[in-house]
Homo-oligomer: A and B are copies of this chain.
Amino acid sequence: MDLSLEADKRIRASHRRMTPQRRIILETLDALDIHPTAEELLGRVQEVDSSIHLSTIYRTLRWLEAEGLVQARIFNDDRRAERFDPAAPGEHYHFVCQECHAVIEFNNLLVNAIKAQFELHTGARVDFGSVVLYGLCGDCRKALLAEAG
């Protein structure tokens, strides 16, 4: 309901067109709480309209990315594919469970300190940072302990 609305606004502002395909893709993205690959998103979208093609998914995602409404990221998980993050505005960080592949978002102000220290030490300007932690999520950790421990 949020990304959908903002995208709608920007489509109207430029001379683009709101098509049924785009509407379905946007609404599907809104309803998702995960970070889907293009193919995963296609699967969800095709539950509503099975004629929508993968290339339309990509074209819509790339436009949203250019608008700053989603971010594409690649995690070091099993897939080598890009995952699309609809919660774009506002930097946040990720934990990836290497067992169940769940992605958990988090925030931590210490990242700002890391950026500042790097800038001081090197004279560089840091525009944004990516932090990804890998390990076992709470659930998988419990499951492992219960089973083998």
Contact = CB atoms under 8 A, between A and B. Distances in A.
Interface of A: 73-74, 76, 95, 97-98, 104, 106, 108, 110-111, 113-115, 117-118, 121-138, 141-142
Nearest to A136: B125
A130 B136 CA distance: 15
Contacts of A111: 114
A53 B104 CA distance: 40
Copies in the complex: 2
A128 B122 contact: no
A37 to B, nearest CB: 14
Contacts of A133: 114-115, 118, 126, 128-130
Contacts of A141: 123-125
A119 B65 CA distance: 31
B135 A125 contact: yes
B134 A122 contact: no
B123 A138 contact: yes
B122 A104 contact: yes
Contacts of A125: 135-136, 141
A136 B76 CA distance: 25
Given A123-B142, A126-B135, A127-B136, 8 more contacts: A74-B76, A108-B114, A110-B110, A110-B113, A110-B114, A110-B117, A122-B137, A126-B134
